[in-house]
Chain A
Amino acid sequence: MTDGRSWQGNWKARLYERVRERGFDSLTSFAESRPAVSLNALAEELGKDDVAGVQVMSGLLAEAEQRKQVTRFVRDVLVRELSATLPNGWPVVMDDEGRFQVAKALGCWSADTPDTHKERVRQARAALRATPPPAGWRPLGPDDELLRMLLPDDEV
């Protein structure tokens, strides 16, 4: 947990300093070495008290824009959201609790998606509702087969 310290000082410089200290030349390579780990957990590893999950996310987005891999970034955000909200995978029994956790993960996914991709994410969510993934589905990274079907790369 943090207590508001993440926003003190030059947080972008702090973020990249921590990434370099851990031997990575980019936030993306740091994150890729920790697939399916929640953004908050990544932030905690970079700075237990002074890095926020949203800062890691905005840094990853900035790098993805440079690499023209925003779609992959969007899939990765969902993977990390699901690992936090549904650690045991897609609910086996869709009771009220299961439905709520799914709704929470997908609603937050939309909110975290950059404007350029919001419409595609809306369509992907509709596809998921129409044809839910198998119980226990737990994507381990942005290259998950089902995820790539839902949200294929369009940037080359």
Chain B
Amino acid sequence: MAGSRIVVSAEWVEMMRRLVQAGVISLPAASAAVRIHGGQVMMAQAHQDLPKGVRDALGDGPEVRGMQVTGRAGAGMSSAPKHHVLPKEHREWFERRGFKGEMDIDNFCVRLEQAHHEALHGGGNWRMGRTWPGEWNRMIMEALREAEVEAGRMFTRNEVLNIVASRMKRYDVPMKFTKGSSR
């Protein structure tokens, strides 16, 4: 559907997970589909006008005026670096909760532009770096660990994803998972 959007919700994560687990789609196919879908979202939302030189070359007209710069990310060809949503330094913690094999934390990476990435780790004051209390890695591990304390038990993979998904929305991290490197 034109103009459709990714629904950022735990239900969505769960649906993708089920489709992958049921063998309906492969994980690479799932992330490819999401990337393309994400490209449409970006194009629909991009807000920068075309540079004047490009407009001149294309000629004036409503279509051209409606065109906007999306960058490679908007065209679904993002080259922005990939980052782990589930912190690598806690890989074992996630493995114990079922993030193994096809559901390895390396499969939960997102592409982020540098400014966005720095903001998540520095709260807009980049010099603070990981000393910012709201820093992503510190925040997500605390939310998960403290929630487990409340529940009095270890969470399942789905429960971890449920909390992570709600935190991604809070930090405006696009819900477009891609496979990253394990380095």
A binds B: yes
Chain B hits for A52, CB < 8 A: 170-172
- Contact residues, A1-55 vs B (CB, 8 A): 1-8, 11-12, 39-40, 49, 52-55
On A, residues with C-beta under 8 Å from B are 1-8, 11-12, 39-40, 49, 52-55, 57-58, 84-85, 99-100, 102-104, 106-108, 110-112, 114-115, 125, 129
Pick 29 A–B contacts, CB within 8 A, sort by A: A1-B7, A3-B172, A4-B113, A4-B173, A5-B172, A7-B116, A7-B120, A8-B113, A11-B124, A49-B45, A52-B172, A53-B169, A54-B134, A54-B170, A54-B171, A54-B172, A58-B134, A84-B166, A103-B148, A104-B162, A104-B163, A107-B146, A108-B143, A108-B147, A108-B163, A108-B167, A111-B140, A112-B139, A125-B150
Flag if B124 contacts A53 (CB, 8 Å). no
Known: A12-B124, A103-B151, A108-B167. A7 touches B172 (CB 8 A): yes
Chain B residues whose C-beta falls within 8 Å of the C-beta of A3 in the assembled complex? 38, 41-42, 45, 172, 174
Could you say which residues of chain A place their CB within 8 Å of the CB of B38? 3
Cα distance A6–B45 in the bound complex, in angstroms: 12
Tally B residues with Cβ within 8 Å of A: 42
CB distance from A2 to the nearest CB of B (A): 5
Within 8 A of A (CB), among B108-151: 112-113, 115-116, 119-120, 123-124, 133-134, 139-140, 142-151
The binding surface of chain A is classed by DSSP as helix
4 closest A-B pairs by beta carbon, nearest first, are A107-B147, A103-B150, A52-B172, A111-B143
Q: A1-B8, A3-B174, A8-B115 are in contact. Are A110 and B143 (CB under 8 A)?
A: yes
Q: Is the CB of A40 within 8 A of B170?
A: yes
Q: Give the number of A-B contacts (CB < 8 Å).
A: 102
- Cβ contacts under 8 Å, B113 to chain A: 4, 7-8
**Closest Cβ neighbor of B6 among chain A residues:** A1
| Chain B interface mostly | helix
Q: Which residues of A contact B120 (CB under 8 A)?
A: 7
- 8 A Cβ contacts from B81-112 to A: 112
With both chains docked as a complex, state the minimum distance between the C-beta of A113 and any C-beta of chain B, in angstroms. 8
